[in-house]
């Protein structure tokens, strides 16, 4: 079971590597890793388990954060509206790829956090508001999905990880809290 001890922190060189594509269909090892990553996110959002296992809450995790330089990400974003479960996303993506994105940009109003960054880094992380992503699932089936708002932000944050990019690389150092016109602020 993955705990915080398995998550490498900023400064560890693997976080800056470009991760390698995994064979499709994924190997049994990569399927097991993906399952563990998703379970970690679910545990991290469960008040009892998070307390018991001292987990920081997360909605996304990338294999490089476990010192495994592979293009595998897990996202478990609960829908804010229980009546619309389809607004959340819970899946493991193998070799995810952003096929296209909106010109429109968006950011989280409260900035971004990362399980590999043990400090608050204030500032807006401006990303595409909508993306079209292709990826393979654990069975090796290809998917092509459109994401928007929070789901799009999270998947972009995790795909950054498999490209060696940290969220604060996107923050404007001079004006971290300045917003260009037209950037959608997601609360
Ligand atoms: C500096 N200000 C901030 O961090 C920040 C500050 C306020 C609000 C937000 C919204 C912020 N931002 C931010 N909050 C999150 N969570 C909110 C808490 N939540 C969670 C925690 C516990 C149980 C269940 C859950 Cl659901 C887990 C997710 N997650 C991310 N990111 C950036 S994209 C990948 C994603 C990630 O999983 N990071 C570990 N950013
Ligand atoms: Ni992160």
Cis peptide before 110 (omega within 30 of 0): no
By alpha-carbon position, which residue is closest to atom 40 of ligand 1? 112
Q: Is 114 annotated as a binding residue?
A: yes
> What is the ipTM, given to two decimal places?
0.98
Instruction: Indicate which atom in ligand 1 lies nearest the CA of residue 61.
Output: 37
DSSP for 87-138, written as a single string? GSEEEEEEEEEEEEE-SSEEEETT----TT--S---S---EESEEEEEEE-T
Prediction pTM value: 0.98
- 75 CB near ligand 1 (under 6 Å): no
pLDDT in tens, 93-131: 999 999 999 999 999 999 999 999 999 999 999 999 999
Domain boundaries, the chain: 4-185
38 touches 2 (CB < 8 A): no
Cα-to-centroid distance, 24 and ligand 1 (Å): 31
57 touches 50 (CB < 8 A): yes
CATH classification code of 4-185: 3.90.45.10
pLDDT at 158 over 90: yes
By alpha-carbon position, which residue is closest to atom 8 of ligand 1? 110
By alpha-carbon position, which residue is closest to atom 33 of ligand 1? 154
Which residues have C-beta within 8 Å of that of residue 143, sequence separation ≥ 6?
A: 134, 135, 136, 137
Cα-to-centroid distance, 151 and ligand 1 (Å): 12
């Amino acid at each position: 079971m993955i705990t915080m001890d398995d998550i490498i922190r900023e400064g560890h060189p693997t976080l800056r590597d470009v991760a390698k594509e995994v064979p499709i269909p994924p190997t049994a090892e990569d399927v097991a890793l993906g399952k563990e990553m998703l379970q970690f996110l679910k545990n991290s959002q469960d008040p009892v388990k998070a307390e018991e296992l001292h987990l920081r809450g997360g909605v996304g995790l990338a294999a490089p954060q476990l010192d495994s330089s592979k293009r595998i990400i897990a996202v478990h974003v609960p829908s804010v509206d229980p009546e619309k479960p389809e607004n959340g996303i819970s899946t493991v993506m193998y070799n995810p790829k952003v096929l296209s994105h909106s010109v429109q940009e968006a950011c989280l109003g409260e900035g971004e956090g990362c399980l590999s960054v043990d400090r608050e880094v204030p500032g807006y992380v401006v990303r595409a508001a909508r993306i079209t992503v292709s990826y393979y699932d654990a069975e090796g089936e290809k998917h092509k999905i459109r994401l928007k708002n929070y789901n799009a932000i999270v998947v972009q944050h995790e795909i950054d990880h498999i490209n060696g990019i940290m969220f604060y690389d996107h923050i404007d150092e001079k004006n971290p809290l300045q917003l260009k016109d037209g950037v959608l602020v997601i609360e």
